[in-house]
Amino acid sequence: MFALLSQRWLSWPGHVSRMDDRRIPKDILYGELATGTRPTGRPNLRFKDVCKRDLKAGNINFAGWEALSADRSHWRLAVKAATQACEERRKEQWDERRERRRLRAASVSTEPSTEFICNNCN
């Protein structure tokens, strides 16, 4: 599910970057705050922040993503490869986590101990 969402997230900025400069979605994607400030603390993630995170996770250079997205077929292949790499990494992490849980559960004895030893005087 995460791979599908990530693939959809990343396909949209490529589409927007190929749009004409006068289009509203392109103005919103590349726009910055002219005045005012963002609230203190950890602000909500913007669409641009999520795309940057997904590009970084998929090993796509954030500085050169616009040049890559200029060619639609290359952008599609790059996005698909990035999401597959992320999904494989996520599966490996999941398997490692599952193995650690299994080892932790195996190390805990299942037999209840009826013998209590005082920590101070043994």
Domain assignment present for 10: yes
Domain assignment present for 114: no
Question: Residue 95 has what pLDDT?
Answer: 94
Domain assignment present for 55: yes
Condensed to tens digits (0 to 9), the pLDDT of residues 6-51 reads: 888 888 888 888 888 888 888 888 777 777 777 788 878 888 888 8
| Average pLDDT score over residue span 85-107 | 90
pLDDT for residue 117 is more than 90: no
| 8 Å CB contact between 82 and 8 | no
Domain assignment present for 121: no
Question: Residue 110 has what pLDDT?
Answer: 59
pLDDT for residue 113 is more than 70: no
Give the domain range for residue 73. 2-32+43-107
Question: Residue 94 has what pLDDT?
Answer: 93
Domain assignment present for 12: yes
Q: Give the integer Cα–Cα distance in Å for 81 and 112.
A: 51
Condensed to tens digits (0 to 9), the pLDDT of residues 78-95 reads: 999 988 988 888 899 999
Written as six digits, the tokens of 70 are 């200029």
Query: Is this model's pTM higher than 0.85 or not?
Result: no
Domain assignment present for 49: yes
Domain assignment present for 112: no
Domain assignment present for 78: yes
Question: Residue 36 has what pLDDT?
Answer: 77
What confidence tier does 111 reach under pLDDT thresholds 50, 70, 90? low
pLDDT for residue 115 is more than 70: yes
Structural domain tally of the chain?
1
| 8 Å CB contact between 17 and 30 | no
